[in-house]
Amino acid sequence: MRTTVGIIGAGPAGLLLARLLHNAGIDSVVLEARDRAYVEHRQRAGILEQGTVDVLRAAGAGERMDREGLRHDGIELRYDRKRHRVDFPALTGGRSVMVYAQTEVCKDLIALQLKEGGPLLFEAEALAVEGADSDRPTVRFRHEGREDVLECDYVVGCDGFWGVARKAVPEELVRVFERTYPFGWLGILADVPPSHDELVYARHDRGFALLSMRSPSVSRLYLQVPEGADAESWSDDEIWDELERRFETEDGWALERGPITQKSVTPMRSYVHEPMRHGRLFLAGDAAHIVPPTGAKGLNLAVGDVVTFARALTHQRDTGSAELLDAYSETCLRRVWQAERFSYDMTTLLHRSPDATPFEDRLQIARLERIATSAAAETDLAEGYTGFPFQ
C-alpha cells in the first residue's frame, strides 16, 4: 500500500487529520488498532474549546454537534461552601465552549471518513515506523492476521500515549518532561439530568469534585481519589455521598442521584515529548503530550496539532516551501506548554495533595478568592479555559 500521509490511530487527532487532508485534496490512510465499536464508545473528554468547534464546523463535521451539543458560557467554582460563576463571553469578548462528547466527535468523523474519505482500517495495528528520517518512511502493520507495509511520504503518529510512533525518534534526540500526581479521578456516568446547567469545579478539604454532563439526561461526575484507587471498591451510595459532601453549599444546593452506568479511575499525568517531529514522522495529540484533565485540554490540543500539520503540508504543496513543516514542532509546543501550564494551575488550584499543609490549604483558598474578586485573575482563567489560539 502507498499513500501521501500514513496516519496511525483513529482517535480525535487521526480522524480529524484525515478529514482536513481530504478537504485539502491530500490522500491518506488511517490505521487503527481497535475495532470501530471500541473507538466509538471509549468515554473520555467532553469539552470542546471555541477553536475546536470552529475547526469541526469548517471541516464539515459540525452538523450534529451544533444540533445536540450544549453551548456553555461559564463554569462555577465552589470552595468553602461558596459559589462563584465565571462568565466566559463577558471576560473573553464572546468566547464560549461546547459540551459534546469525544465519543460523538469520533462517531461523526468516522461516518464522514467511511462515506467520503480515504481508507480507514480498523483492527490494523501499527508495529513500527521505519525510515522516519528518509524520503520514504513506512509503517509496518498487522491487519486480518497478515503483516503489511504502508509506504508514505509522511507519517503522523496519532496513536495516543501508549502508541508506537514515538519510539521511532532516536532516544538521544528526545527530551521528556513529566510529572505524575499523587491522586486520580474516579469518573462516573449516571442516567440522571445534570444538577446544574454548567460545569461545577469544587475544591474541598476532602478533595476535588467535578460535575459535568454528556447530554440533558446524562451526568458525568468525578471525584479525586488516591493514586491507584480501584473504582470497584466504591459502592454507588458511597460515591453519591462523597459527591454530595464535596459539592455542599451554604445556600442548600441539591445533587440529584441516579443509576450509575459506568465507573473508572483515570490517573493524572503531565507529559511532553520533545521534539514532536523527526524527519518525516510527526507526532500529534496524546502521542506527544498528556495533560491532567482538570483544564479539559487533551482533545483540544490534539485538534491544534493536526490543524497545524494539515496547514503546513498544504502550504508545502501549494508553494513548495517546507518552512511550516520544519517549524511544526516549535509551533505546536508553544501552544502545548501554555495548555500544560493552565492544566497544572487548575489541578494544583483545586486538588488536595495527600501531604498538603494548612499553609497550602490557605493558599488555595486565597487563589480562588483572587479569581472571584479580581477581573484580571478571572479573565486569565476564562481565556485559558476557552482556549489558546491555533497557530
Quickly count: other Cβ atoms within 10 Å of residue 58's Cβ. 12
Answer yes or no: 79 catalytic. Answer: no
Which residue, 207 or 285, has its beta carbon nearer to ligand FAD? 285
Answer yes or no: 385 catalytic. Answer: yes
Q: Which residues bind ligand FAD (CB under 6 A)?
A: 8-14, 31-34, 39, 44-47, 102, 125-126, 158-160, 163-164, 266, 285-286, 293, 296-299, 302
List the end-to-end C-alpha distance of the chain, in Å, as a whole number.
32
Sequence-separated (6 or more) residues with CB below 8 Å from residue 298: 44, 45, 285, 286, 290, 291
Is residue 268 a contact partner of residue 343, using CB atoms and an 8 Å limit? no
Q: Which of 22, 273, 297, 351 is catalytic?
A: 297
In angstroms, what is the minimal distance from the CB of 289 to ligand FAD? 9
Which residue, 10 or 325, has its beta carbon nearer to ligand FAD? 10
Answer yes or no: 182 catalytic. Answer: no
Which residue, 34 or 83, has its beta carbon nearer to ligand FAD? 34
Q: Cell triple for residue 328? A: 511544526
Query: Among 223, 177, 215, 162, which Cα is nearest to 193's?
Result: 215
Q: Which of 79, 181, 201, 222 is catalytic?
A: 201
Answer yes or no: 328 catalytic. Answer: no
Q: What is the dihedral of CA 121, 122, 128, 134, to 10 degrees?
A: 20
357: phi then psi, degrees, rounded to nearest 5: -100, 160
What sign results for the dihedral spanned by CA atoms 222, 227, 230, 234? negative
Q: What is the rounded CA–CA span in Å between residue 165 and residue 283?
A: 7
In angstroms, what is the minimal distance from the CB of 250 to ligand FAD? 28
Answer yes or no: 344 catalytic. Answer: no
In angstroms, what is the minimal distance from the CB of 136 to ligand FAD? 20
In angstroms, what is the minimal distance from the CB of 117 to ligand FAD? 16
Q: Which of 100, 181, 328, 385 is catalytic?
A: 385
Q: What is the rounded CA–CA span in Å between residue 30 and residue 17?
A: 10
Q: Which of 72, 204, 289, 351 is catalytic?
A: 72
In angstroms, what is the minimal distance from the CB of 115 to ligand FAD? 20
Return the active site residues: 72, 201, 293, 297, 385
